[in-house]
Amino acid sequence: MRLSQTSIDRPVLASVMSLVIVLFGWIGATRLQNRELPDVDPPVVSVTTVFPGAAPEVVETSVTQPLEDLLVGIDGVKHITSTSREQVSQISVEFELARDVEAAANDVRDRVARSRRQLPGEIDDPVVAKQDSDAWPVLWAALSSQRYDQVELTRIAELYIKDRIGKLPGVSNVIIAGERRFSMRVWVDNDRLTAHNLTVADVASALERQNVDIPSGRIEGTDREFTVRSLGELTSEEAYRRLVVAPRTGDEPVRLGDIARVESGPEDERKIVRFNGEPGLGLGVVKQSKANTLDVAERVRAEIDEIRKILPPGVNIERAFDSSVFIRQSIDSVRRTIYEAVLLVVLVIYCFLRSARATLIPAAAIPVSVIGSFMVLYALGFTINTLTLMGITLAIGLVVDDAIVVVENITRWIEEGATPVEAARRGMEEISFAVISATISAVAVFLPLTFLTDTTGRLFREFAVTVAAAVAVSGFVALTLSPALCALVIRRDERPSALKRALARTFDAPGRFYGAIVQPALRRPSLWIAVGLVWVLLGVLLLQGIDQELIPNSDRGSVIAKMTAPEGATIEYTDRYQKEAEAVFLRTPEIERVFSVVSLGIGTPGLVNEGFMFTMMKPEAERDRHQRDVVA
């Protein structure tokens, strides 16, 4: 083959081509984001609408049904599911896998915008968003204090924390869970209101009309001018009490203090957050869709350490839940497996080839092929995850095959007396087509996985591409770098050492044993074919009794618990049982942190009869029980 002959004549060119592959692969590897698993989220678009104060039945008839009637006609819709609960309408539109999620989201936005006139005027504007696993916080931080209440903690979070974390590279948003903003709470006395012939609408109208700053123009003089500001926004309880609700025929108008009780307090009390049993706030960090989870979590942890230094005395901030810990442990574990696999493959090659020079050639194919595959992953927009790293682990045993074939054939010619360069030329003339055929065959085994469109197929797509890319690069290396190195480093071994003779005796014995047992099989082939068929049948039968799951159960070092109280339960009722569940977790010696939320609602009012607990366990080396044993 011309490419192999050129590489033999110009070994520097062959080396440079391999170095270019390594360079581009290394650049791609440094830019790939890290995830636990490939991104296989189906194209789902959600529409969330808040209707303050509305009952579930009103939300269903006034908001959910009109929106569903419009969304069902969008091209490519597979399923529409909706939930109508107190104050909130949530609609999820799942599209066919072939549908582009960006185009689908734009279609949904257009339909929702056209339906705005048909919806009640009191609703908040519907929020259309793509449902993405990356939209869930990768890290929760807990802000707690025994000195400050949650209203003051909310102010501290917005003043010291939210903007600092939000501006970090890779951070998309920072969610404050359990926030309680300062507000004036007006408790209307219905008897007094009726006595003055007023309604709640009159009170609301007066508040909207008088509690507002309006443009007031300016005063111009001969030489100077002044901007006029009318202080119409009320800031104190007394100012609210003196607000005029309605004029009266007598001396004094009807003021808000005459018909209502005014007091300052949190705007919303229907959410409770605790960290290790202490009241606090939660700060959820959402990463950008293409950001590296490990890098984002590392930056956030470093920023939290810096923020802790400037917080007011008595205020603590801690990591409550960190999903990147398991991702890092999983990737580090697979990386260690890769290094072990490389070592074992090189050791096995040496044991059989019994030559350090010959071992160097297939060993050189491993880093070039593996690193070169990252170039393909980056070009296709894939990620570094447990499946792609598993593919690399598998590929390590495959990428050396072609190089070993090249080394064996060229070594045979050298043993027959040819010079290394001549042996390389003759050897590659004989096996170039075989190397190409073997490479194409191996690639063809894995590439069909990329055409599967279901969830499992999309999950293993990156695995298949990783192995196929590594094998394809190894085929190129076997045609270029391997023969060039053979011509340079392989020499005829005139006097093998004692170690080589011992290895020859050790590994020739299995060959002789195989030859001894294969002769009877060749004399009675039908019997051994029947044994093979029985073996396959037995495997099929045993397969039926093996448990099946998409992802194997593993120790993630964290537990997420959800508690649901009876429908109609108050937040106090739910919180009472939530505290009991927290106490159980806190008494468990393997649990290190417990982050508890009652009525968790991200962007919408939460359900007061639902509670969540996010727990972080001690490192696996510091505990005796597995995660599943702790949960049980």
Alpha helices in 273-323 (DSSP H): 293-310
User: Which domains does the chain carry?
Assistant: 2-36+327-494 (1.20.1640.10), 44-131 (3.30.70.1430), 140-181+275-321 (3.30.70.1320), 183-212+232-266 (3.30.2090.10), 558-631 (3.30.70.1430)
pLDDT value at position 85?
Answer: 82
Alpha-carbon distance values, 230 to 220, 242, 434, 560 (Å): 17, 17, 88, 52
Copy the structure tokens of residue 437. 């055929």
Instruction: Please spell the DSSP secondary structure of 453-496, one letter per residue.
Output: -SHHHHHTHHHHHHHHHHHHHHHHHHHTHHHHHHHHH----SS-
Q: How far apart are CA 200 and CA 194, in angstroms?
A: 10
For residue 219, pLDDT beyond 90: no
76 dihedral zone (left: phi>0; alpha: psi -120 to 50; beta): left
Mean of per-residue pLDDT scores for the chain: 84
Q: Which residues contact 156 (CB under 8 A, 6 or more apart)?
A: 143, 148, 311, 312, 315
For residue 249, pLDDT beyond 60: no
pLDDT digits (tens, 9 = 90+) for 364-416: 888 899 999 999 999 988 888 888 888 888 888 888 888 888 888 888 888 88
Query: Span 352-372, mean pLDDT?
Result: 85
Measured distance between the N- and C-terminal CA atoms of the chain, rounded to whole angstroms: 63
pLDDT value at position 246?
Answer: 83
Burial (Cβ within 10 Å: 0-12, 13-18, ≥19) of residue 34? buried
Give the percent of the chain with pLDDT over 70. Answer: 97
Q: Which residues contact 504 (CB under 8 A, 6 or more apart)?
A: 354, 496
Query: Span 62-81, mean pLDDT?
Result: 86
- Contact, 396 vs 366, CB < 8 A? yes
- Ranked by mean pLDDT, the top range of 205-209, 262-266, 467-471 is 467-471
Query: Span 309-324, mean pLDDT?
Result: 85
Alpha-carbon distance values, 576 to 20, 146, 415, 490, 598 (Å): 64, 20, 84, 77, 10
* pLDDT tier, 493 (very low <50, low <70, confident <90, very high otherwise): low
pLDDT digits (tens, 9 = 90+) for 20-54: 999 999 999 888 888 777 877 778 888 888 888 88
83 forms beta bridges with 90
Q: Which residue type sits at 64?
A: T
pLDDT value at position 495?
Answer: 67
For residue 438, pLDDT beyond 70: yes
Residue ranges of E strands in 550-620:
558-564, 591-598, 610-617
Higher pLDDT, 622 or 64: 64
Residue ranges of E strands in 312-379:
315-322
Copy the structure tokens of residue 98. 């072939």
- Contact, 388 vs 463, CB < 8 A? yes
* pLDDT tier, 471 (very low <50, low <70, confident <90, very high otherwise): very high
Q: How far apart are CA 249 and CA 625, in angstroms?
A: 78
For residue 551, pLDDT beyond 80: no
pLDDT value at position 494?
Answer: 59
DSSP H or E segment with residue 228:
strand 225-229
Q: Which one-letter DSSP state was computed for residue 384?
A: B
pLDDT value at position 275?
Answer: 84
- Contact, 143 vs 237, CB < 8 A? no
Alpha-carbon distance values, 355 to 360, 411, 456, 482, 487 (Å): 9, 11, 44, 15, 15
b/e 67-100 (16+ beta carbons within 10 angstroms → b): bbeebeebebbeeeebebbebbbbbebbbeeebe
pLDDT value at position 534?
Answer: 93
Number of neighbours of residue 468 by Cβ within 10 angstroms: 24
Instruction: Please spell the DSSP secondary structure of 411-427, one letter per residue.
Output: HHHHHTT--HHHHHHHH
Copy the structure tokens of residue 614. 């996010």
pLDDT digits (tens, 9 = 90+) for 590-611: 888 888 888 877 767 778 888 8
Classify the C-alpha dihedral 483-489-492-496 as positive or negative: negative
- Contact, 120 vs 104, CB < 8 A? no
Q: Which one-letter DSSP state was computed for residue 169?
A: T
Helix (H, G, I), strand (E, B), or coil: what is residue 56?
helix
- Contact, 318 vs 376, CB < 8 A? no
pLDDT digits (tens, 9 = 90+) for 114-153: 888 888 888 888 888 877 666 778 888 888 888 888 888 8
* pLDDT tier, 461 (very low <50, low <70, confident <90, very high otherwise): confident
Classify the C-alpha dihedral 525-527-531-536 as positive or negative: positive
Q: How far apart are CA 382 and CA 152, in angstroms?
A: 44
pLDDT value at position 19?
Answer: 93
pLDDT value at position 468?
Answer: 92
Length of the chain, please? 632
Residue in the block written with tokens 């093998």:
496
Query: Span 183-192, mean pLDDT?
Result: 86
- Contact, 575 vs 609, CB < 8 A? no
Helix (H, G, I), strand (E, B), or coil: what is residue 278?
strand
